[in-house]
Every structure is written in C-alpha cells, then in structure tokens.
C-alpha cells in the first residue's frame, strides 16, 4: 500500500512556497518561508511555550468533551430505551443542537465569573448534544430483525440490551464520538480566541495583535494537526473495538 502518499501534496506545496520565498517573491511579514516557520517552531518547542499552549487547549478540550460525552451517551441511550424520556427531552436537545455554543460564553461568564468553568461548559455541551443525538439514533436504528432473532432464542430484557442493542448501536455511537471530538476542538480554540489567556486560540489571537506572523501560522498548523491526530486515533480505536466492521457492512 502507498504508505505516505498523503505527504506528497503538502511536500510539493511547501517546496514551491520555499522556492518563492527564497527568491524574495513573497513578503516575509505575511508569508514567512517554511524554513523560518520550522525554525520558530523548534524555538517554541525548546522554550516549552508551544507545549504549554497545546497542553492548555488539550486539557480544556478533553475535560469538556469527556464530561459531555459521558453525559450525552447516558442521555441518548436512556432516550432510546424509554419513549417517555425521549419525548420529554428531544425538543430541548434539538434546540441546544442549533444554538452555537460560543454565544453562551458571555452568559456563562455572567453566572460563573471569568474562569475555566465558563470556558469548559460550552465544550461539554457540544459533546453532550452530539453524543445524545447519535446514541439515540443508533438505538432507534437497530434492525428489528436482530431483536426478533434474539427474542426467538429466549433473550430477556437484559440480554437484549447487552447482546443486541449495545453492540448494534456501537458504530453509530462511534460516529458521534468522532464528530464530538472534532467539534470540541473547534469550540475550545474559538473560546480561547476571545476569552482565555492561554491555549492555542489565545496564542493565535495574541500573535495577530503583536504581528508575530510565525506564531500565527504555527498556532493554526498546531490546531489542524491536533484535529487530524484525534481523528486518526479514534479511527484506530474504532477498528479495534468494532472488529465486525462498522464501515464494511453492517448487515449479516
């Protein structure tokens, strides 16, 4: 298999950029050469600045998304299991889904003061809504043929949940998880952009204000890299946890 084909486009792009920069065809204030960026990046890694900013972002994002995802999963599964819970909660979940979580920041700061709580709650809400909706869909989408099959063999309520509903909804839940983690990163960095003193978002904003162009680029690249890493990591985890091939074929 072509192991590293994905490296080709960025390599070509960077080489072209570098060549243009070396000829002086680009204004270094706006488009610093890749070699300059790499040097700055090494500097920031050495001084520990980049690590600290990435760490701050990661901490917020993971705290928020784990809390939100666990609660969302519980909420979605119980909505899937009990019709009354679904009917009473679904409107609120959809309303929350279409509210941009960032707009809640000022309100939260009003209630809880300017602090980490106000920054993490929107992240948690983002994960919560996505997981709740995906878990609900996954449970409701379980093919009744499998329920019939298990019942025919004498499965009771608990066996149905354990052997049919949970494994059958795992692929859907995982899709939700991947989405939730991606969105959590977006919302974390956005919040840091407007309302934090550390983290990648704040670093990017400060870089803009002080015209530190290299930092600006490095912040954006670091954010994108984090997103890609999470995506790949979750894909690998999914392949391990769902060996029956959630993507390959769901029906047997």
Partner 1 sequence: MERHVRLRCSQLGVTFESVHGPVRALDNLTLETREREFLSIVGPSGCGKTTLLRVLAGTLVPGEGEVSRIPSPSDPNQAVLLVSQERSLFPWMTVLENAAFGCEMQGVPRRQRESRAREHLRRLGFAGRERAYPHELSLGMKQRVAVARCFLSDPAVMLMDEPFAALDCERRLHLQQALLDLWEQNHKTVVFVTHDVEEAILLSDRILVFSRQPGRVVAEVPVRLPRPRASAVTMTEEFLLLKRLVASKLGLYAGWSEVTA
Q: Contact residues for partner 1 (CB under 8 A)?
A: 143, 145-146, 148-155, 159, 163-164, 167-168, 170, 242-245, 248-252
Tell me how far, at minimum, the Cβ of 236 lies from partner 1, in Å. 18
In the complex with partner 1, the residue whose CB is nearer, 24 or 243, is: 243
Instruction: Report the distance separating Cα 216 and Cα 200, nearest Å.
Output: 10
In the complex with partner 1, the residue whose CB is nearer, 143 or 235, is: 143
Tell me how far, at minimum, the Cβ of 155 lies from partner 1, in Å. 6
Tell me how far, at minimum, the Cβ of 229 lies from partner 1, in Å. 28
Own/partner contacts of 34-38, CB < 8 Å, gap of 24 or more, are: 36/214, 37/214, 37/217, 37/218, 37/221
In the complex with partner 1, the residue whose CB is nearer, 83 or 243, is: 243
Q: Who's near 28: CB < 8 A, 6+ residues apart?
A: 21, 36, 213
Tell me how far, at minimum, the Cβ of 237 lies from partner 1, in Å. 16
In the complex with partner 1, the residue whose CB is nearer, 151 or 183, is: 151
Query: What are the Cα distances from residue 214, in Å, to 35, 159, 207, 225?
Result: 11, 57, 8, 16
């Amino acid at each position: 298999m072509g192991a590293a084909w994905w490296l080709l486009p960025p390599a070509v792009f960077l080489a072209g950029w570098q060549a243009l920069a070396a000829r002086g065809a680009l204004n270094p204030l706006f488009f610093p050469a890749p070699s300059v960026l790499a040097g700055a990046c090494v500097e920031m890694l050495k001084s520990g600045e980049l690590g600290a900013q990435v760490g701050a972002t990661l901490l917020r994002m993971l705290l928020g998304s784990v809390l939100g995802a666990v609660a969302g999963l519980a909420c979605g599964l119980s909505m899937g299991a009990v019709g009354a819970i679904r009917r009473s909660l679904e409107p609120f979940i959809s309303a929350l889904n279409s509210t941009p979580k960032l707009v809640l920041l000022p309100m939260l700061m009003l209630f809880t003061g300017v602090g980490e709580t106000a920054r993490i709650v929107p992240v948690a809400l983002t994960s919560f809504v996505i997981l709740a909706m995906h878990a609900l869909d996954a449970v409701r989408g379980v093919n009744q043929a499998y329920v019939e099959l298990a019942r025919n063999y004498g499965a009771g309520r608990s066996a149905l949940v354990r052997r049919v509903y949970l494994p059958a909804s795992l692929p859907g839940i995982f899709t939700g998880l991947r989405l939730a983690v991606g969105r959590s990163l977006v919302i974390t960095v956005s919040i840091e952009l407007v309302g934090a003193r550390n983290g990648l978002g704040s670093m990017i904003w400060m870089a803009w204000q002080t015209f530190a162009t290299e930092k600006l680029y490095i912040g954006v690249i670091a954010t994108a890299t984090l997103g890609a890493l999470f995506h790949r990591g979750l894909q690998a985890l999914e392949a391990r946890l769902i060996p029956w091939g959630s993507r390959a074929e769901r029906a047997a």
